[in-house]
Structure 1
Amino acid sequence: MPETRSTSSAQGAGASGAAQETGGAGRERRRGAGRVLIAVYLVLAIAATFRSVYQILTKFDEAPVAYALSAAAGIVYIVATVALVNRERPGWRGIAWAAILFELAGVLIVGTLSLAVPEWFAHPSVWSGFGIGYVFIPLVLPVLGLVWLTRTRGDAAARTTGGIS
């Protein structure tokens, strides 16, 4: 009889282990997606920031609005990247939400204005044409960021409550 108990205990442990693996796999996918998202934000932050700094230093008088908007976009991407990296720390998740929502609004507003009033944009900015110069990544990225923040909301709540649901 003791062997039966140990076998059923082992099966029980195996069953709970399988459940943990399934939950763990879901978390790992989210972490993997989060890492890719953060990497894309980092690349865009670097690209937008360095491009805007170069443009501001060398030809700001040609298109001050476009270059200032590109600099603003670069700063928003930097803030979003830092906030996403630190999203588990107090306050940073809210900063990530704010930065990404601001980014989405910027892309939509600047994208619309650049098509409706093209004379305002002598040269394109990061968000002009909804990010066409960056293969529309500036348009898609905030949507993916908001989806990811929404999907990982439960993970953050579990961490702050110590896993108590």
Structure 2
Amino acid sequence: MTTTTPSRSAGIGRVLIAVYALLALAATGRSVFQLLDDFDKAPVAYSLSALAAVVYIVATIALIAPGPAWYRVAWITISFELLGVLVVGLLSIFDPVLFPAKTVWSGFGAGYGYVPLVLPLLGMLWLYRRRPRAVVADDAALARSTGV
């Protein structure tokens, strides 16, 4: 028995990938500017922005690339993204001293129209709907496995 993964880059998946790519570009640009210009002011916040950029880049690639290994990478990065948005979002609200400057995930992604909060939820839903399915190699194997 083998597994097959439905294409993650078909249909609405293309829109999801485009939004991830756009967010990867925006987060990368923001973090590079922050790291080069004001790193001393908020090293934790700016390092988290750089981490978010890397997560968005890897998630974008994982959503595009075929195969079960990339499917797992997509789940890992998108889950990490959601965890990051929730943790940084809560910390930036309840302990703003930790984040004297805004990050991509501050305030649950408020600076990006809350897209960083909604995107991983949509990504997880899309991945679930595109999960690998077992495929029987041929009719003979199916007959042997069912006893027919």
Which of the five TM-score ranges fits, normalised by the shorter chain? 0.7 to 0.9
1:157 partner letter: R
CA apart distance, 1:157: 2.0
Structure in which a larger fraction of residues adopt strand:
2
Gaps of 5+ in 2: 1-5, 143-148
- Quote the offset at 1:129 in angstroms: 0.2
Assess, with a 3 A threshold, how the Cα gap between structure 1 residues 33 and 120 changes in structure 2: closer, same or farther. Answer: same
Alignment of 1:1-165 (within 5 A): 31-86=10-65, 88-153=66-131, 156-157=132-133
**Structure 1 gap segments, 5+ residues each:** 1-26
Q: What is the rounded CA distance, in whole Å, between the counterparts of 1:44 and 1:90 in structure 2?
A: 24
Cα distance in structure 2, aligned partners of 1:89 and 1:76: 19
Structure 1 counterpart of 2:13, one-letter code: G
Whole-angstrom distance in 1 between the partners of 2:15 and 2:127: 14
Shift of the 163–62 alpha-carbon distance from structure 1 to 2, 3 Å rule, reads: farther
Distance in 2 (alpha carbons) for counterparts of 1:163 and 1:135? 49
TM-fit CA distance, 1:32:
1.7
CA radius of gyration, larger in: 1
Q: Counterparts of 1:100 and 1:73 in 2: how far apart (Å)?
A: 11
CA distance in 1, matches of 2:120, 2:73: 14
What is the aligned-residue identity percentage? Answer: 56
- Following TM superposition, the consecutive aligned residue runs of length 4 or more in structure 1 with deviations greater than 3 angstroms are 160-165
Higher helix share: 1
| Cα distance change of structure 1 residues 61 and 89 upon mapping to structure 2, 3 Å threshold | same
Greater RCO (Cα-Cα under 8 Å, separation 6 or more): 2
TM-score w.r.t. length of structure 1: 0.75
